[in-house]
Structures are given as structure tokens and as C-alpha cells.
Amino acid sequence: MYRIREVDPQDEEVADTLAELHQLTFCDGTRVPDFGQGYWWIAFRGLKPIAFAGVVSSTHVANAGYLCRVGVVMPHCGHGLQVRLTRALEARARRSGWKAIVSDTTDNHFSANNFIRQGYRLFEPASPWAWQHTLYWRKQLV
């Protein structure tokens, strides 16, 4: 059984765990985010942390959160954790008064399909913030 909880990244142990999960899931493929910004979640299998997610205030879309990271450690992929973590951060975004969540994917069809299943739609931001072949996603929160 998996358990997801919102965590306080100001806690040194939590920040270390987030950094370890980031390394396990992204290797050196992308920079480590500033865990001191936004809201963060960790998924556990028993006492073992096996996935994480984070959302920060978007700097590119007004009144929106930016889903900046979701990572699931192998062999826990395929158990719906990315979807469950995204639902948790969407609920937090609503409570924070944001009207939308935006994100992006680059060469990751698994994440793109998860966004589609969860009601995210492709959009073209006024100022693209990633690579030329990046897909941008937005979900209006009601």
C-alpha cells in the first residue's frame, strides 16, 4: 500500500529525502529544484520514500501553479503514483486560490499520457520557458 503526504521542505531531513528522490528518478537529467519554494509531497511504501512531487507559483502564467516535478522510483512506476501525486497538488492549488496548473513534458510520453488522462490540455504559452520541442500543459481548476 502507498501513502502520500504533504511535507515541509524546510525540515532538513525532508529536504534531503526530496534531493535523494530527485537523484534516483532524474539522475543528472535536470537541475535540482529549490525545495524551499512551493508545496511538496512524498509517497511512501511502508516507511520507504518512493516518489515525490512539487508545485510552485508559475512565473509564466498568471494565477497558476507550475507542476515542476513528479518522480517515481523504479519499480514503483505503473501503480498510479504520478496521478495520485498530481491530484494532491491540484487540491492544494485550489486551496491556494490558483485558477490553473501548468506544466511541461519533453520526450516523456508516459507523463504526457498521464496529463491527458487527468484532463490537462496542450497550450502555447505567450513566453515558452523550455526547449523548442517541449509540450506545454494546462488544466483549469474549478
- pLDDT tens-digit readout, 29-38: 888 999 999 9
Tally the domains of the chain.
Answer: 1
37-40 long-range Cβ contacts below 8 angstroms, 24+ apart: 38/65, 38/68, 39/6, 39/89, 39/92, 39/96, 40/6, 40/7, 40/9, 40/14
What is the identity of the amino acid at 48? K
What is the identity of the amino acid at 88? A
d(C-alpha 50, C-alpha 130), whole Å: 27
| Domain residue limits at 39 | 2-140
Q: What is the CATH number for 20?
A: 3.40.630.30
Q: What are the Cα distances from residue 17, in Å, to 52, 93, 132?
A: 9, 23, 32
Q: What is the pLDDT of residues 51-98, one digit of tens each?
A: 999 999 999 999 999 999 999 999 999 999 999 999 999 999 999 999
d(C-alpha 24, C-alpha 8), whole Å: 20
Instruction: Please check whether residue 51 is in contact with residue 85, taking contact to mean a CB–CB distance below 8 angstroms.
Output: yes
Residues whose CB falls within 8 Å of the CB of residue 138, separated by 6 or more in sequence, listed in order: 61, 64, 100, 101, 102, 120, 121, 123
| Local structure of 75: helix, strand or coil | coil
Predicted confidence band at 26 (pLDDT cuts at 50, 70, 90)? very high
